[in-house]
Amino acid sequence: MKRKFPNLCKPIQIGNVVFKNRMFSAPMGGTDIPEDCTIGPKSTAFYELRAKGGAAAVTVSECVVHPKTEHSHAFRLDPKVLGSMASFAYTADAIRRHGAIPSVELSHAGQFSGTYLIDKEEKRQIEQWGPSAGVRHDGVPVRELTEELIREIVEAYGATAALAKRAGFEMVMVHGGHGWLINQFLSPYYNKRTDKYGGSLENRVRFAQEVLDSVRAAVGPGFPIEFRMSGAEFFEGGYGLEEGIEIAKLLESRVDLLHVSAGSYLTGFDITHPSMFREHGCNVYLAAEIKKHVSIPVATVGGINDPYMMEEIIASGKADVVEMARALLADPELPRKVMSNREDTIVKCLRCYTCLAERVATSTRRCTVNPLIGRELESRDIVPVTVPKKVLVVGGGPGGLQAAVTAAKRGHRVILCVASDELGGILKGERAIPFKYEMYELGVTLGRQARQLGVEIRLNTRVTKEYAEQENPDAVIIAVGSEPIVPPIPGIGGANVIQVTDYHHQKDKVKDSVVVLGGGLAGCEIAVHLAREGKTVHLVEMRGELAPDANVRQRPILLREIDKCGVKVHLGHKAVRVTEEGVVCAHEGKETLIPGETVICAAGQRPRRREAEELLDTAPFVAQIGDCVKATTITNAIYQGHHAALDI
């Protein structure tokens, strides 16, 4: 077999271990962390899914090494806790039985202890330790680690590594980036010590060297040690790439793989976990530059989800390994699809931060495009049915497409009807916004999967009650979606007004000055896009805040983009009428004109209830999913579509 991505698919030896390809599953925190901080069965299934999907290595994150000074509610490998060792052993075995190498990330958050604690007040009351005494950016006091405590922590890294090896893990990753404790010692911003651990770079690296020596002594020669570092910190007072190179050179003799990430706790998720507003592979250059100066393998990470880009990274020598986290949530089978030349069926990560936001909201995991994530035990495998049914899916948006794909995988005969001439539903409009293009691709990919599974797709077909009854299906899944809300104000139907969902058809009509009417997520994103194109953009919102419908991880990054792009924001402004000059708004008892030659209406969506209700009695089994029930998210539509198909 000739592989399309030969370099990406090529095995690599790190230490004494051979990895079957160059695609590694980067550290991701578990989905359920019980009170005793063992690895719960849901988390074991969560990690196993990536191993089943073909990743060469799967890293469990984060394992706290010294709870005495690090109070995060994360995994702990403690032989004194009943079931702790067993939970790690079961997880290592679940990963290894699929041919992936199990790894565990050894971690200490230092002065940012409290990871995953929901109670913010509890976080503030935790005693925080760091390389130097001071006050954290949010006002929390930090105590300086004594040399005695440093020795304890160093020994704890080794002791935890030895336990991980005993449990069956065949590699460990030492977390030395992102503003966690080791990075705090490396960083001139955090480290103000005057003893042997502070001052010169050689002194600041000493703690990391001692940790790595402790780990090596515990696991022995040939056992792979991966070190995650930030190639640069990207904030004032932190170190840059030049010093990152020197750090790598001072550590390379002690590690087998340098994992080069970027940023710090202070820089926020936009750098450590690149957002949709950044280029894919935006941090690869850090690994590429560091690789020029070291003789050991180097891994790169951060917003990479395209196999052609990955192949180029390996082929050109920028890195030896590509690590992915969110991309393997979106499609755990990405490595297997790459290995079997099925790259056109990869469901790409949208970089929407749903996965990270869900940790904050419910302490679980969820993925917008993958309904299995965080629920792997409930939906581990799609079991074929013994008696296939005729299934009619009405609507070709994300929910309908996912329903059709899942139903077809179960062996049902599936007919998918779409009123328009194209699949994708509300996703179709995203093709015109570069940083949201992968949302458009999602519809294309799901459509391709449906066709390959034998789904009969009927375009330009509006399903009425009579049409459905004539087909006589055993099951109907109603996914007719939503329609734009058009506020009843004078001038809203004018030639200068474009609905945001229709922007992709009329983008050439947009003039140089624009008023975006509606400051929800859709309005904010189109405003950023138009401002990036060089247009003068006014964003009008009647409420007192922007994008309340954005998730907690995405919203602050979106608001920064709005500010950075120069979008002029008008909160508390209620549109009264649209004119050729712009939108007249009521604000604080007065009318004011917000100027713009073009008006983009982004006032939200409403369910297509009339169309849905017409089909309620057209089959023995009927399910309603997605926006036709309640205008909601892609996440909910796909999850509901998948499970509606499982219920048939």
Alpha helices in 196-306 (DSSP H): 201-204, 206-219, 241-251, 269-272, 284-291
Collapsing DSSP to helix, strand or coil, 107 comes out as strand
Summarised one tens digit per residue, pLDDT across range 364-384 is 889 999 999 999 988 666 889
Q: Which residue has the higher pLDDT, 255 or 138?
A: 255
**Cβ-proximal residues to 466 (8 Å cutoff; 6+ apart), any chain:** none
Residues 42 and 75: beta-carbon distance below 8 Å: no
Report which DSSP code applies to 535.
-
Phi then psi for residue 247, to 5 deg, are -60, -45
Distance CA 123, CA 144 (A): 18
- What percentage of the chain exceeds 70 in pLDDT? 98
Note the pLDDT of residue 195: 97
Are β-strands 568-571 and 141-144 bridged in parallel, bridged antiparallel, or unpaired?
A: unpaired
Summarised one tens digit per residue, pLDDT across range 156-171 is 999 999 999 999 999 9
CATH fold, domain 6-362, is TIM Barrel (3.20.20)
Phi then psi for residue 201, to 5 deg, are -60, -40
Summarised one tens digit per residue, pLDDT across range 258-315 is 999 999 988 888 899 999 999 999 999 999 999 999 999 999 999 999 999 999 999 9
Distance CA 4, CA 372 (A): 28
- For residue 172, what are its two tokens? 């460990």
Are β-strands 513-517 and 598-601 bridged in parallel, bridged antiparallel, or unpaired?
A: parallel
Distance CA 405, CA 411 (A): 10
Note the pLDDT of residue 119: 66
Reference 248, options 208, 199, 198, 301; nearest CA is 208
Phi then psi for residue 62, to 5 deg, are -100, 145
Note the pLDDT of residue 396: 97
Mean pLDDT of 6-28: 98
Using CA atoms, how far residue 569 sits from 84, 519, 553, in Å, is: 52, 9, 21
CATH of 390-484+606-646, one of 3.40.50.720, 3.30.1490.20, 3.40.50.1820, 3.30.43.10: 3.40.50.720
Residue 48 has pLDDT above 80, yes or no: yes
Q: Where are the domains of the chain?
A: 6-362, 390-484+606-646, 497-603
Distance CA 63, CA 161 (A): 10
Question: pTM here?
Answer: 0.95
Q: How many CB atoms lie within 10 A of CB 268?
A: 17
Distance CA 574, CA 596 (A): 16
**Cβ-proximal residues to 6 (8 Å cutoff; 6+ apart), any chain:** 311
**Cβ-proximal residues to 35 (8 Å cutoff; 6+ apart), any chain:** none
Longest dimension (CA), the chain: 83
Report which DSSP code applies to 127.
P
Mean pLDDT of 614-636: 96
Mean pLDDT of 428-442: 96
Note the pLDDT of residue 382: 82
Residues 208 and 106: beta-carbon distance below 8 Å: no
Band (pLDDT 50/70/90 cuts) for residue 6 is very high
Band (pLDDT 50/70/90 cuts) for residue 362 is confident
Residues 463 and 418: beta-carbon distance below 8 Å: no
Residue 32 has pLDDT above 90, yes or no: no
- What percentage of the chain exceeds 90 in pLDDT? 92
Note the pLDDT of residue 389: 98
Note the pLDDT of residue 120: 65
Residues 489 and 416: beta-carbon distance below 8 Å: no
Note the pLDDT of residue 427: 95
Summarised one tens digit per residue, pLDDT across range 59-93 is 999 999 999 999 998 999 999 999 999 999 999 99
Mean pLDDT of 599-619: 97
Are β-strands 257-261 and 497-499 bridged in parallel, bridged antiparallel, or unpaired?
A: unpaired
Reference 167, options 101, 92, 60; nearest CA is 92
Report which DSSP code applies to 427.
G
Collapsing DSSP to helix, strand or coil, 499 comes out as strand
CATH of 497-603, one of 3.20.20.80, 3.10.50.40, 3.50.50.60, 3.40.50.740: 3.50.50.60
Q: Please determine whether the domains at 6-362 and 390-484+606-646 fall in the same fold group of CATH.
A: no
Note the pLDDT of residue 359: 84
Distance CA 301, CA 284 (A): 7
Distance CA 108, CA 117 (A): 15
Using CA atoms, how far residue 345 sits from 340, 341, 376, 454, in Å, is: 11, 10, 21, 15
C-alpha radius of gyration, the chain, whole number: 26
Summarised one tens digit per residue, pLDDT across range 115-125 is 766 666 776 77
Note the pLDDT of residue 125: 76
Note the pLDDT of residue 115: 74
